Amino acid sequence: MTNPIHGPDYSDLSTTAVTYCWVSRHQGQRPGSQDVVTRELAAALAEYATQQNTRLVGNMNMDFPEYRALPQDVRRALLRMMWRQERWWRFGGLVLVRAWQSTAPVTVADA
């Protein structure tokens, strides 16, 4: 299960898709940028669900998680993603955005 207030349950992600992105504070303040980030996160969740042969159910939830509160393996993956995505001098100006949504197996009716 997911808790929209506290984020997804990292101990059991078997029925939850989770994705992240680093956004510059400056970019996040531009008009319309929130919609762009939301669409990108929704597309990433849909792609993950397709790769896992599942479908997304319910509503997508988003937040700005505290990096240090995330599990260690997630923090490592996020650092690698940031290093590939951004130049080192921009790290201080980035905000982490997380999105998650429940998943369910694909049924015959979905196919």
Interval 48-81: pLDDT, tens: 999 999 999 999 999 999 989 999 999 999 988 8
Residue at token pair 């650092």: 79
- Kindly report the pTM of this predicted structure: 0.81
- Who's near 14: CB < 8 A, 6+ residues apart? none
SS3 category, 38? helix
